[in-house]
Amino acid sequence: MLSRLRYIFRETFDSFRRNATLTVASIITAAISLLGVGLTLLSQEGFDNLLSKWEGGVEMIIFMRPDVSDDQKALIESSLNENSQFIESWTYCDVECSIAESERVLAAEPGVRDLLNESNIPTQYKAVPTEATDVALLRQVSDEFAGGPGVFEVVFAEDQITLIEQLQSFFGFRLFLLSGFLLVAAVLLIWNTIRTAIFARRREIEVMKLVGATDWFIRIPFMLEGLLHGVIGGALASLGLGIWNSQWTRGVQGFPENSGFASLVITNGYDKQVMLIMLLIGAVAGAIGSGIAASRFLDV
C-alpha cells in the first residue's frame, strides 16, 4: 500500500516538473477564474447588505429620535394606520433591532458603530406601500411624516433601491459570465496539460499495461495532478480574495460618512465561506479536466 502511494505521488510531482510551463499556465488561469467567482459572490453579498434595510418591499423608513416618548410613537403609529390607502403594512424596529442592523450597515466603520448604544441609536418605522401607490404620492406621505413629533429623519428608498439593484444586476451577471468563460478555459488547459503528460509517457504506459497494470492504477497520478492544479489555483485565488477584501475594508474607512459604501464590506465571515467554495470549485474543475483527459487516452 505504501509503495503504491509513493509511486502515485512521485509520478504526480514528476509530471509537474516535466510540464512546468503548462502547469503554471493552468494554475494561473484557474486562480484568475476562481478569483472572479469569489469577487462576484462578495459583491453580491455587499449589495445584499446595502438592501438589507429595504427587505420585504420596504420603501420608506421613519427614523425616530433616541429620546422619543411613547405618546409620540403612538401618534406616528396612528398616522401610519390612517394612511392605509397608501401604506399596506409597517413594522417597528426597536433599539435591539436597530443595533443589530447597524452591525451590518456600519461594518466598515467600527468607530461610528462603537458610538451607538441603547441610549442614542434612532429606532425605525419601516413602511411597505400598497401596489397602487405611485412614487409622487409616497413622497408626499413621507414629507408629512418628516414633520411629525419625535421624527429624526424620513428616508425614501425609491432612488436608492433602483440604483443598487441595477448595480447588483450589472456587476453580478457580467462577473459571473467572465468567470465562467475563464473557468472553462482553466478546465481546457488542465485537460491539455494532462493529455500532454500522458502522451509524453505513452510508451511507459503501454509497458505498464502489458505487465498487468490496471487503467485506474495508471489514471490516478494524472487525475491527482489535475486535482492539484485546481486546488492550488483555488488556494491562490483565496489568498488574493483575502488581500482584496482587507484592502477594500481599510479603503472604505476613509470614505465620507453616510456614503453607503460601508455596507459593501464583508466582515461576518462570509469571505471564509467563499474561499472554501473557491477551493471546492477548483478541485472539481481540476478533477473533471484531468479525468476526461486520462479516460479518453486510455480508452484508445
Q: Residue ranges per domain, the chain? A: 2-52+162-298, 59-156
Nine cell digits for residue 1: 500500500
Give residues with Cβ within 8 angstroms of 136, minimum separation 6: none
State pTM to two decimals.
0.61
Phi-psi region of 229 (alpha: psi -120 to 50; beta: other; left: phi over 0): alpha
User: DSSP for 71-109?
Assistant: HHHHHHHHHHHHTTTTEEEEEEE-HHHHHHHHHHHTTT-
Do 278 and 38 form a contact (C-beta atoms < 8 A)? yes
171-219, pLDDT tens digit by residue? 667 777 877 787 788 888 778 777 777 777 777 767 777 777 676 776 7
Q: Which fold has domain 59-156?
A: Alpha-Beta Plaits (3.30.70)
Cβ partners under 8 Å of residue 43, min gap 6:
168, 171, 172, 175, 264
Calpha distance 284→43 (Å, rounded): 23
Kindly give the interhelix angle for 2-18 and 20-51, rounded to the nearest 10 degrees.
Answer: 90
Q: For the segment 29-84, what is each residue's pLDDT rounded down to a tens digit?
A: 888 888 888 888 887 777 777 666 555 556 688 888 888 888 888 888 888 888 88
Between CA 34 and CA 98 the distance in angstroms is: 36
